[in-house]
Structure 1
Amino acid sequence: MIEAARSHEMQPPLTTRWAGHIWPWGFLAAAIGLLLMIFSTGLAGMLNAWSSEEYSHGYMLPAVAAFLVWQRSALLAQTPFQPSWTGVMLTAFGLFLYVAGELGTLYTVIQYGFLAALGGVLLSWMGWKAFRIILPAYLLLFFCVPLPSFLYNNLSSQLQLTSSEWGVALIRLFSIPVFLEGNVIDLGHYQLQVVEACSGLRYLFPLSALGFIAAILFRGALWKKAVLFFSTLPITVLMNSFRIGVIGILVHYQGIDMAEGFLHDFEGWVVFMACSVLLVLEMWLLARIGPDRSSFSEAFTIDGPEPIPDSARVEHRRVPWSVYAVLPLLVAVALLSFMLPERQDVAPQRPDLVFFPGDIGEWRGQRGRLEQIYIDALKFDDYLMSDYRNQAGDSINLYVAYYASQRKGASVHSPKSCLPGGGWRIEDFSQREIPGPGVDGQPLRVNRSLIQMGDERLLVYYWFQQRGRVMTNEYLVKWYLFWDALTRNRTDGALVRLTIAAPLEEDLKEKDALLSGFANAIEPPLQRFIPE
């Protein structure tokens, strides 16, 4: 009898298979349907972004996420669902982001709000224990959201510079004379510019998503998964630099046609496939090292859900009370979404910058023009490029880029990110306060940058003049952009930049005095062209 009792104690516990009637799933379907209806404007903007090459992988990610959930469906079926207050609060936070993003008509805020609300609904439905099972699939959806424009621009600029430097290093290995100025590769007879489209972001975004998927499916230690994912950035930079170097070599021997048309695009496709191959080789190497080493087929397999034992005890799920708390929130915000007025930017009346004074005190201006390639890249609505000279022969370049709206990707490009792309090295960077008649009579605070390329040196002052504020901090600019869109329905603003030559042998104090005086002279007329 004792032996029988011991035998009974050694029996594994019966597996429980949780099942539910069809009607409780209707609550989840209704919640997701309400989410899609509420966030429709942001989701439409996201779908529009997927039409670009950088984000074209977005179409496949929801399907891959659904597959990952299906893989774990057997484990979900054996996990009890529990209510979650955290899910209710996360849903409320996502809905708050929707209202804020809708009032400010900022698509990125709405899109992240959708993901937060979706996570909240799922967490309310199943509780943390079950939600943790599908967490990797949920996190994959964040790769669907396009980066905010200012982060995209900064990342693109840095990748252009790095890829140009490494590409030129490859060209020099073949004893080809080449000179690099920022992202302009000078081969003597030909010049190649590493533009935004060649920054590598077209590889980085889909490759990082692919690396995340590979890390999910890879069976190994957590550090191996982390290495697999984070290695996508250096792989992208390395292969993009290789591509730029190869193009430079081909152009040197075969002519400029090697950098244009179908061959250029085909090289890009080949490089992305090479990046994917490197990722697979990395997985093979990671599988064969460490105490948990295994074969590649064991470490990386794509299979279906494990079967549930036939002896599993079936129990029916109940709808958690947290779902009943979430549904009224969704219904209320859905009704609110129909009541919110259609918001468009308030465009203040202002004269075009073509009427900006040509003569300012002792300074006489001569207008210039930007090439169309830069106009297309900067996406401003109005601009001024003018050289002002005084009787002493000093010359100051004034550049103003005005944006009537900065909601949909068009926004001020910071010189701190753009100047290195032209080959300039920032020798000194600080802020300077200029006493005088600034905005509302306050002293004018500007960014002061000393830049150099070879023996040429320039002193640059710049600031962001936006809706009655003068700012030097780029991130503060983004915050007030959101706040003013929300409270004033305005996102207009401008970048103002002053540049003067500062030869190495000359005293900078005199150049600072000239720029400070000129900044004070132009500030009063600027306020007519950049309205409060």
Structure 2
Amino acid sequence: MPPDVTLESPNTHRLVSRIAPHWREALGLLVLGSLASLAVTMREWGEMFHQWWNIDTYSHILLIPFIIGWLVALKASELAQIAPKPWLPGLGVIAMGLVLWFVGRMTDTNLIAHAGAVGTLQGIVIASLGPRACTIIALPLCFGVFLVPFGDEIIEPLQVITAEIAIVLTHLSGIPAFSDGIYIDTPVGLFIVAEACSGVRFLIAMITLAVLVAYTRFTSWSRRLAFLAASIIIPIIANGIRAWGTIFIAQSQGVEFAAGFDHVFYGWFFFAFVVILILGLAWRYFERDPEDYGWSVDEVHGFEILKRLEPYHASPMKVLAGTLALCILAGGTAMIAAPVAIG
């Protein structure tokens, strides 16, 4: 008689058995809801991944899913002490995300559509796990905002600021020059603060890192805000100094040498140097280890507002049905409205 054949590996069975029953239900709901959301917003996620993979400004976003996973893993022991309860008002968050996605899709505004796709997924997490569990993982949940590629909107102002800093330092270094917007005319040639030189790539990555550090290493809001401010101001000033350095080197070594030096220095050393500088200045003021970030289970259990939200819990099937209905409605409406929007 042939042996029984099973499609479930012993290792998988052991892994699933280690998950508490209430968490199995919640995670199953989360997976099914996420798949429904991705089916509707697949185009936007494809566009975002294309930007993460192919555009240098957004390449740091490829690390964010791993950072989110790490932050959640740090809270695993505390999450195990909480019973996740699907939350009916979470459907409202999903609906708002889908409305934002729909508006972005219909108006062909990628930033809005991408934000809606990410917001919908965040809403599904809230609806699937409930407010208590989501309070424990508030940081990684909110950190998902940085999955949205943004920053093109500030390129032009950054170009102007960089040019202004560079021209001031050029005059202070004794080099005759005058500027017209992003153009800097010097004895050795005309320099242009192009989009690639605006510093937006570094600034966006630095803001992302700063938020992570601020909420994992500091407890006081004053230090968090000071660190965030420094993480914005210092890179902008440093980029202006870098632009001036290119002009200064061009005076003595030639334009070609300066351009090559700027490419290597900016691409390989500039980012690392400024990050080390900012973290080095803040190191002595760190107030806790990363694994201690956020609220503890005891603190969460003591929040009165969470107690008031208890009556709005619902069964997993009701939340799943509501999630599927919203996704089908949004996807169907977009399919019907798309020809009208195009025409």
Q: Deviation per CA, 1:133-154, whole angstroms, max 9, x where unpaired?
A: 111112212112123xxx734x
Q: Residue 134 of structure 2 corresponds to which residue in structure 1?
A: 131
Measured after TM superposition, the shift of residue 98 of structure 1 is 3.0
Q: Deviation per CA, 1:135-178, whole angstroms, max 9, x where unpaired?
A: 1112212112123xxx734x212111111111222223322222
| Distance in 1 (alpha carbons) for counterparts of 2:235 and 2:336 | 41
Describe the SS at the equivalent of 1:191.
strand
Contact 2:246 2:259 in 1 (8 A): no
Q: Which amino acid is 1:19 matched to?
A: A
Measured after TM superposition, the shift of residue 338 of structure 1 is 6.5
Q: Deviation per CA, 1:9-38, whole angstroms, max 9, x where unpaired?
A: xxxxxxxxx932675132221111112222
Structure 1 residue 41 corresponds to structure 2 residue 40: no
Q: Residue 203 of structure 1 corresponds to which residue in structure 2?
A: 202
TM-score (norm 2): 0.79
Structure 1 residue 332 corresponds to structure 2 residue 333: no
Q: Deviation per CA, 1:285-326, whole angstroms, max 9, x where unpaired?
A: 433xxxxxx6xxxx445689xxx9xxxxxxxxxxx5264333
| Distance in 2 (alpha carbons) for counterparts of 1:303 and 1:136 | 12
Measured after TM superposition, the shift of residue 89 of structure 1 is 0.8
| Distance in 2 (alpha carbons) for counterparts of 1:60 and 1:235 | 23
Q: Residue 118 of structure 2 corresponds to which residue in structure 1?
A: 115
| Distance in 2 (alpha carbons) for counterparts of 1:205 and 1:184 | 24
Structure 2 unmatched ranges of 5 or more: 1-18, 298-312
Contact 1:179 1:186 in 2 (8 A): yes
Q: Which amino acid is 2:46 matched to?
A: A
Structure 1 residue 152 corresponds to structure 2 residue 5: no
| Distance in 2 (alpha carbons) for counterparts of 1:21 and 1:81 | 7
TM-score (norm 1): 0.53
Mapping for residues 264-275 of structure 1, pairs under 5 Å: 264-269=262-267, 270-275=269-274
Structure 1 residue 187 corresponds to structure 2 residue 189: no
Pick 1 or 2: higher relative contact order, CA cutoff 8 A, min separation 6.
Answer: 2
Describe the SS at the equivalent of 1:39.
helix
Structure 1 residue 489 corresponds to structure 2 residue 342: yes
Contact 2:102 2:334 in 1 (8 A): no
Q: Residue 300 of structure 2 corresponds to which residue in structure 1?
A: none
Measured after TM superposition, the shift of residue 99 of structure 1 is 3.1
| Farther off after superposition, 138-147 or 55-64 | 138-147
| Distance in 2 (alpha carbons) for counterparts of 1:326 and 1:251 | 64
| Distance in 2 (alpha carbons) for counterparts of 1:335 and 1:178 | 61
Number of residue-to-residue matches in the alignment:
304
Q: Deviation per CA, 1:353-395, whole angstroms, max 9, x where unpaired?
A: xxxxxxxxxxxxxxxxxxxxxxxxxxxxxxxxxxxxxxxxxxx
Computing the radius of gyration over CA atoms, which structure comes out larger, 1 or 2? 1
Describe the SS at the equivalent of 1:321.
coil
Q: 1:82 to 1:21 in 2, by over 3 A?
A: closer
Q: 1:99 to 1:186 in 2, by over 3 A?
A: closer
Q: Which amino acid is 2:152 matched to?
A: Y
Q: Residue 475 of structure 1 corresponds to which residue in structure 2?
A: none
Measured after TM superposition, the shift of residue 102 of structure 1 is 3.2
Q: 1:302 to 1:254 in 2, by over 3 A?
A: farther
Describe the SS at the equivalent of 2:191.
strand
Measured after TM superposition, the shift of residue 333 of structure 1 is 4.8
Describe the SS at the equivalent of 1:186.
strand
Describe the SS at the equivalent of 2:176.
coil
Mapping for residues 316-465 of structure 1, pairs under 5 Å: 321=314, 323-335=316-328, 337=331, 340-341=334-335
Q: Residue 7 of structure 2 corresponds to which residue in structure 1?
A: none
Contact 1:92 1:329 in 2 (8 A): no
| Distance in 2 (alpha carbons) for counterparts of 1:343 and 1:126 | 33
Q: Which amino acid is 1:27 matched to?
A: L
Q: 1:183 to 1:339 in 2, by over 3 A?
A: closer
Contact 1:211 1:279 in 2 (8 A): no
Q: Deviation per CA, 1:56-78, whole angstroms, max 9, x where unpaired?
A: 11111011011101101111111
Q: Which amino acid is 2:48 matched to?
A: M
| Distance in 1 (alpha carbons) for counterparts of 2:206 and 2:33 | 32
Q: 1:103 to 1:169 in 2, by over 3 A?
A: closer
In terms of fraction of residues, the more strand-rich structure is 1
Measured after TM superposition, the shift of residue 214 of structure 1 is 0.9
Q: 1:132 to 1:162 in 2, by over 3 A?
A: same
Contact 1:121 1:326 in 2 (8 A): no
Structure 1 unmatched ranges of 5 or more: 1-17, 288-293, 309-319, 346-486, 491-532
Q: 1:302 to 1:77 in 2, by over 3 A?
A: closer
Instruction: State, as a whole percentage, how many aligned pairs show the same letter.
Output: 23
| Distance in 2 (alpha carbons) for counterparts of 1:246 and 1:208 | 24
Structure 1 residue 29 corresponds to structure 2 residue 54: no
Describe the SS at the equivalent of 1:60.
helix
Q: Which amino acid is 1:103 matched to?
A: M
Q: Residue 432 of structure 1 corresponds to which residue in structure 2?
A: none
Contact 1:124 1:326 in 2 (8 A): yes
| Distance in 1 (alpha carbons) for counterparts of 2:165 and 2:230 | 17
Q: Which amino acid is 1:271 matched to?
A: F
